[in-house]
A and B are shown apart, each in its own frame.
Chain A
Amino acid sequence: MIVAEQKSLAEIKGLVADAKNILVVGCGTCVTVSFAGGTKEVGILASSLRMATKLDGNAKQFAEVTVQRQCEWEYIDPLAAQLDQYDLVLSLGCGIGVQALAERFPAIPIVPGLNTTFLGMPVEHGVFEERCQACGDCILGLTGGICPIARCSKQLLNGPCGGSQRGVCEIDAEIPCAWQLIYDRMIARGQLDRLLEIQPPKNWSTSRDGGPRKIVREDLRKLEDEE
């Protein structure tokens, strides 16, 4: 899932400073699971902003709505009917949701209330960790199901650097060394020999480095035409 966290109230106040009537739009999918932009967070943020702007002597109106998914047209299209009542939309979706709203409703300013942070999972309640960088060329089959692109600070492909000590990364003792994890798992599986093969330089052209990416599924497109 996409993990995000809310911007500071001060930054959000700055983003909405020029508006009077604001619609706060939550998203019911990933950012609900990361407790950043679901119905509950929309309610809390809208209340905080009402109070804060009132205390500042510049009270604003904040309306609330949460859609199932901000990143799909069918869920955001119904917002069209009510948008003319507002002069700004504060999106609590991820960066994809913000852009979908801005693309569908170009006439109204859309600002982000979240920082979209990474692709990951809750490893325990309230703790989210990065797991995938969407590099477009998955190598998890070679690395025991642990991704060195997302989880090694240097994205190394041939084993730990000299900064790995007692299982943690040189940049922060809170970060487990991905290569120690990989090494331990491959030993446990009796597959250490696989780690001794030299991995060639990675093809980064499938990653963001190759420019903005797009997938076209002609098989699905045709189906829709036939319908």
Chain B
Amino acid sequence: MEPVSRLGKALTARQFAVTVEIGPPKGADVSHLLATAENLREYAHAVNITDQQSSVMTLGSLAACHLLLDLGIEPVYQVTCRDRNRIALQSDLLSAYALGIRNVLCLTGDHVSLGDHPQALPVFDLDSVTLLCTLRTLETGRDLAGKKLAGVPHFFAGAVVSPGANPLGPQIAKMEKKIRAGAQFFQTQAVYDPGQLERFIHKVEHLGVPIMAGIIPLKSAGMARFMNRNIAGVEVPDSLIEEMTGTSDRVLTSISIASRLIRDMKDMCQGVHLMPIGWAKVANSLTDRAILG
């Protein structure tokens, strides 16, 4: 079947694709979110909207994706299994389809203990694999209980993978399950070493699924060290930390590092997934360079 989204068409046609991730606000004011998305319009094939990223409560991904569609910007609806059971997840997937959302990125989600409501009850009724299965089940015209649906959704479904996972074996075994469950593309955790991506791609090439390399522009040496300590699968090499320490213009150096990474990794993968974490201006420069190569 023909892919149901612009991102899907690009990736299926083996074009180099660009996605940028933005996080909804903590609060009801979406003006900044929409302005950021507006600036990305001409550069990104699609804009990912995070779902309570790092278990920090924000405005919802579904509503933000809908607002992006109103502006004519294609969203990637990120869905995690942390906060909703299978009833709510199926309902939200149907709602998303009815609102015009076609790209869905299926994630397990961080544990609540890492976020700003650590006393909340985590759900994890489904996991990333069974969430993908759920989406594919809905596409057959049935729900998980086997009940018939009036109107059938169709999605372009993605998943995530961490090339820096140590060890890599269990991560790749799960990636294979995600593909069998219906994942059509992958966005990776941030990569700071092209060699790491190369070794990973070498192991998963045979799976034949489009992979978009994750890029988080470094804001400071401190941020790099923080990620090395706290974010599983992220390893910023010392040489990049030194580059950020020694610079007098952090924005320029950040762009320089990220565009170098994109250049070095461009031929290994099928796109880049930028996660600027608030640094929208950096994302704009990068999407520009990524496309122009």
Interface residues of A (CB under 8 A from B): 153-166, 170-171, 179-180, 183, 187, 192, 195-196, 198-202, 204
Pair B173/A196 contact, Cβ less than 8 Å? yes
Bound CA–CA A180/B165 (angstroms)? 12
List 12 additional contacts besides A154-B109, A180-B170; criterion CB under 8 Å.
A153-B111, A153-B122, A154-B122, A155-B124, A156-B127, A158-B127, A158-B129, A159-B129, A159-B174, A162-B165, A162-B189, A202-B125
Main secondary structure of the interface of A (DSSP, over half): loop
Say which residue of A162, A192, A200 sits within 8 Å of B160 (CB atoms).
Answer: A162
Pair A198/B108 contact, Cβ less than 8 Å? no
B180 contacts across to A, CB distance below 8 A = 198
B86 within 8 A of A: yes
Interface string of B111-150 (1 = CB under 8 A from A): 1011000000010111111100110000000001000000
B171 within 8 A of A: yes
B293 within 8 A of A: no
Bound CA–CA A204/B125 (angstroms)? 8
The verdict on A195 contacting B173 (CB below 8 Å), with A154-B122, A162-B232, A171-B113 known, is yes
B125 contacts across to A, CB distance below 8 A = 201-202, 204
Interface centre among A156, A192, A204 (most CB of B within 10 A): A156
B110 within 8 A of A: yes
Pair B111/A160 contact, Cβ less than 8 Å? no
Pair A162/B162 contact, Cβ less than 8 Å? yes
A179 contacts across to B, CB distance below 8 A = 170
B233 within 8 A of A: yes
The verdict on A163 contacting B130 (CB below 8 Å), with A153-B111, A170-B114 known, is no
B127 contacts across to A, CB distance below 8 A = 154, 156-158, 161
B166 within 8 A of A: yes
Pair A198/B124 contact, Cβ less than 8 Å? no
Say which residue of B108, B126, B167, B169 sits within 8 Å of A161 (CB atoms).
Answer: B108
B73 within 8 A of A: no
B177 within 8 A of A: yes
B110 contacts across to A, CB distance below 8 A = 163, 170
The verdict on A198 contacting B111 (CB below 8 Å), with A162-B233, A165-B233 known, is no
Say which residue of A171, A187, A199 sits within 8 Å of B111 (CB atoms).
Answer: A171
B124 contacts across to A, CB distance below 8 A = 154-156
Bound CA–CA A202/B166 (angstroms)? 28
Bound CA–CA A164/B161 (angstroms)? 12
Bound CA–CA A202/B129 (angstroms)? 12
A162 contacts across to B, CB distance below 8 A = 108, 160-162, 165, 171, 189, 232-233
Chain B's closest residue to A183 (CB) is B170
A204 contacts across to B, CB distance below 8 A = 125
B193 within 8 A of A: no
Chain B's closest residue to A187 (CB) is B169
Chain A's closest residue to B180 (CB) is A198
B62 within 8 A of A: no
The verdict on A192 contacting B232 (CB below 8 Å), with A157-B127, A162-B160 known, is no
Say which residue of B86, B114, B130, B144 sits within 8 Å of A158 (CB atoms).
Answer: B130
Pair A165/B174 contact, Cβ less than 8 Å? no
Bound CA–CA A221/B106 (angstroms)? 49
Chain A's closest residue to B178 (CB) is A158
Pair A154/B108 contact, Cβ less than 8 Å? yes
Pair A198/B232 contact, Cβ less than 8 Å? no
A195 contacts across to B, CB distance below 8 A = 173
30 contacts between A and B (CB under 8 A): A153-B111, A153-B113, A154-B111, A154-B122, A155-B124, A156-B108, A156-B124, A158-B127, A158-B174, A159-B173, A160-B174, A161-B108, A161-B127, A162-B161, A162-B171, A162-B232, A162-B233, A163-B232, A171-B111, A180-B170, A187-B169, A196-B173, A196-B176, A198-B129, A198-B133, A198-B180, A199-B130, A201-B125, A201-B130, A202-B125
Say which residue of B162, B171, B177 sits within 8 Å of A198 (CB atoms).
Answer: B177
Pair B232/A158 contact, Cβ less than 8 Å? no
B181 within 8 A of A: yes
B162 contacts across to A, CB distance below 8 A = 162
The verdict on A159 contacting B189 (CB below 8 Å), with A154-B108, A183-B170, A201-B125 known, is no
Write the nearest CB–CB distance from A133 to chain B, whole angstroms: 13
Write the nearest CB–CB distance from A75 to chain B, whole angstroms: 35
Bound CA–CA A196/B175 (angstroms)? 10
Bound CA–CA A161/B176 (angstroms)? 14
A164 contacts across to B, CB distance below 8 A = 165, 170-171, 232
